[in-house]
Structure 1
């Protein structure tokens, strides 16, 4: 199967799954692929929003249901968790709308919210609204970035490989920053 067919067939599924797991790197990569015409930009935006919203809902419900489980307790012991709780207590609505945009808090925030007194009827609609803005914004940022890469990306194979390298590079940088922060904190 040609690389174009693979991207066309599984690209939006990968964006959906990746938006919940890695977030920005995957969605920016999807935006680059959309700019090159390999994926529809609104499909990338919708898949990103849906994947992000779904995984955050799952983390929220898991933390709500299993707050005494050892794995949830391990996450609760992290400094980022304590920071998320402080912000949540001080600015509940704003924090729920903004946590996707705050580096270092994105992954622990849904669990922090799940262990808090915030009701699900408050979290669910705010999570949907937040994801509905985040997905398209990051996808369009990738689209704009893809336009800037135009001089270097000429054929479909170089576009796909360049987008994957870009996404991998962003993911690597984010992981290194996360690792460095953990090493400094611990």
Structure 2
């Protein structure tokens, strides 16, 4: 995997910092939709499974959970603070289609909790859904529980799949399949949703 040498080359603390920063930015800032979060997490799990790397699973998993939750919480807070006037300015400037906003708000209102959880598995959605949840006025408690469940499932599955692939030859094939399905599935889901939206 191309990412593994990159993480391994920065040292233990550097690997933790890089993984945490990438997860946080992808989860909470609009420029994060360009980042390969799924690949980063699987690669970090592979690194944790290498006894010589110094990266510990017991540190990596809480780090991923905390940074993923904090990132989405930031996106939600930005959406709540800037609100609909900010989106309306984007519509007036032609940067945002009003029909897309209406669909997104309707979807969030109908499937709000599940939308936040499921969005973790779609690269561009996990960046934008927290913002839309804040703008649409989704309740703080509801958003927080969905945020934690989504972060734990997404981060946990990918990191543990990478760890199992590196640490147990008997599980290597199964773990690689799980990791590959999660990464490819998230990319395909994003592509399908983008195509349907267009």
TM-score (ref. length: structure 1): 0.67
The partner residue of 1:91 within 111, 114, 119 is: 111
Offset at residue 27 of structure 1 (A): 1.1
Equivalence for 1:45: 61
Offset at residue 116 of structure 1 (A): 0.8
Counterparts of 2:116 and 2:56, CA distance in 1: 29
Contact 1:81 1:109 in 2 (8 A): no
1:14 aligned counterpart, secondary structure: helix
The partner residue of 1:128 within 141, 148, 151 is: 148
Q: 1:140 to 1:82 in 2, by over 3 A?
A: farther
Unaligned runs of 5+ in 1: 150-169
Unaligned runs of 5+ in 2: 1-6, 27-34, 170-182
Q: 1:71 to 1:86 in 2, by over 3 A?
A: closer
Q: Give a deviation string over 1:11-30, Cα, whole Å, max 9, x none.
A: 11211111122321211111
The partner residue of 2:39 within 8, 18, 25 is: 25
Offset at residue 118 of structure 1 (A): 1.0
Offset at residue 90 of structure 1 (A): 2.1
Are 1:8 and 2:12 counterparts?
yes
Counterparts of 2:14 and 2:47, CA distance in 1: 12
Are 1:62 and 2:78 counterparts?
yes
Higher relative contact order (CA 8 A, sep 6+): 1
Offset at residue 111 of structure 1 (A): 0.7
Deviating more after overlay: 76-85 vs 34-43: 76-85
TM-score (ref. length: structure 2): 0.63
Are 1:36 and 2:69 counterparts?
no
Offset at residue 70 of structure 1 (A): 6.3
Count of residues in Structure 1 that have an aligned counterpart in Structure 2: 162
